[in-house]
Structure 1
Amino acid sequence: MVVIRTVQVGTDVQSIKAIQLTPESFAKFGAVFSADEQMSNVSQTSANQGTATKLLKVAPVTNNSDAAPSGKRATANWNIFRCSPPNHLIRQEVGHTTYLAKVLERHPYTTQTFVPMGRDAHEIGFLVICAPDDPVDHLPDFTKAEAFLCRGDQSVTYGVATWHAPMIVIGPHDHLDFAVLVHESGVPEEDCQEVTYEPGFKVLLS
């Protein structure tokens, strides 16, 4: 991981309101695994002697490390992230709950998939924040960031070089485990780049 810029956030920056994650709402940033929503509109076939329905090509798995300056080929790795709620960044304010976002990161040459493990299917378990790439400086345009509330039965795949916050667990539990699929070469600036924000920008959770 390499921090490539620190951005000062003015007091006039508007808060971002988090919405429910759906495949459609997240499409500009990557892909979503959400079987209840996708059973009716994703190509599928019968599997396992008729006891399963296979939804086809729900999300891409991409490794563009051949284009990286080092020329070092990244390998596909499954990692486990045990994430705790960032309670120091969550505030109860008048009429709503806010999260103070202080970091956006990207993986310049790979997709990254987060699969939550051990959370109720209908419970909101984590928050996802993404921002578009600024076409001029290729840093995240945090003023156009979007935030998504995610259930325990939903997973996300960030597109290649998509700016996103580190995983943010919310709710009453002390942690949430994720299985994470990503390509890594071991070259820090090619595996993960970060932009930090001071003091941060607010996301409305409720």
Structure 2
Amino acid sequence: MVLKTFRLDSSKRYQVVAEPLTPETFAPYGGVISVDHQITGLVEASQANYGTAIKLHKVAPVINEYGNCSSGRKASANWNIFRCKAPTHLIKHGGTKSVYLSKVLERHPFTTQTFLPLGQDLSKKAYLVIVAKTDDSSSDNLPDPTKIRAFLCKGNQSVTYGVGVWHAPMVVIDETIPYLDFAVLIHENGVAEEDCQECYFVPGFNIEYTLDTPNL
């Protein structure tokens, strides 16, 4: 469902520089599963599997608020797979710096959504996460384009979007691979406007990011 098209003021420069993803920086928007960070004491830990494993407790939220939806239709927790390729038609390269043109944000008003990358290099920057808070002055609950943030994510990090948090569709930036698979956990009830809402931006806003080596 398309919620609305948001026409940006062309006289303003809508550009965001992506920052490294950590549990602390992303906390206002949901949760992160990043073992290298969380194993250092950010979350509760205990011994497991008869001493052969460490269990990190409650690393990211899993929330179902469909009890508040208008239709009253119950939702189920579903694992989905997203096979994503880099949106090269929206990416411009310049040495080690690149710019992604972001044109759409979406949100799930009654559920969290977790993206778990599968089989990726733990040290390699693999994808972008772009988020925004809802504009409290907007009667349509639209995102605030002046408060968009972007995060650079490695292949061993997953992200959970909080309930109702605006976010871009997954943006793969590792162009050395044909696609990146994500296992996705979300609650869904099959009512389109309750499962997902979208907002398109014209002409869009730029997300600048830097890789460790020059881009293709």
Residues 20, 46 of structure 1: alpha-carbon distance in 2 compared, 3 angstrom cutoff = same
Is the CA contact 1:13–1:143 (under 8 Å) kept in the aligned structure 2? no
Is the CA contact 1:105–1:164 (under 8 Å) kept in the aligned structure 2? yes
Measured after TM superposition, the shift of residue 14 of structure 1 is 3.1
1:8-47 deviation per Cα after TM superposition (whole angstroms, max 9, x unaligned): 1233223100011000010000000001111122111100
Measured after TM superposition, the shift of residue 94 of structure 1 is 8.0
1:21-75 deviation per Cα after TM superposition (whole angstroms, max 9, x unaligned): 0000100000000011111221111000000000001111111001000000010
- Distance in 2 between the 1:89 and 1:146 partners? 18
- Distance in 2 between the 1:30 and 1:56 partners? 16
Aligned match for 2:156, one of 153, 158, 175: 153
- Distance in 1 between the 2:33 and 2:137 partners? 32
- Distance in 1 between the 2:165 and 2:51 partners? 37
Residues 53, 14 of structure 1: alpha-carbon distance in 2 compared, 3 angstrom cutoff = same
SS at match of 2:200: strand
Is the CA contact 1:111–1:157 (under 8 Å) kept in the aligned structure 2? yes
Which residue does 2:214 correspond to in 1? none
- Distance in 1 between the 2:190 and 2:94 partners? 41
Which residue does 2:213 correspond to in 1? none
Aligned match for 1:168, one of 137, 160, 171: 171
* AA aligned opposite 1:165: A
Listed as ranges, the gaps of 5+ residues in structure 2 are: 211-216
- Distance in 2 between the 1:125 and 1:97 partners? 13
Task: Note if 1:5 corresponds to 2:8.
Answer: no
1:88-129 deviation per Cα after TM superposition (whole angstroms, max 9, x unaligned): 100125883100000000000000000000210001111000
* AA aligned opposite 1:111: T
- Distance in 1 between the 2:184 and 2:14 partners? 32
Which residue does 2:198 correspond to in 1? 194
Which residue does 1:39 correspond to in 2? 39
CA RMSD of aligned residues (A): 1.1
- Distance in 1 between the 2:93 and 2:55 partners? 42
- Distance in 1 between the 2:195 and 2:204 partners? 24
Is the CA contact 1:128–1:148 (under 8 Å) kept in the aligned structure 2? yes
What is the aligned length?
Answer: 205
Which residue does 1:105 correspond to in 2? 106
Which residue does 2:17 correspond to in 1? 17
* AA aligned opposite 1:8: R
Q: TM-score, normalised by structure 1?
A: 0.97
SS at match of 2:51: coil
Q: TM-score, normalised by structure 2?
A: 0.92
Task: Note if 1:178 corresponds to 2:179.
Answer: no
Measured after TM superposition, the shift of residue 196 of structure 1 is 0.3
Listed as ranges, the gaps of 5+ residues in structure 1 are: none
- Distance in 2 between the 1:146 and 1:7 partners? 17
Identity %: 53
Which residue does 2:66 correspond to in 1? 65
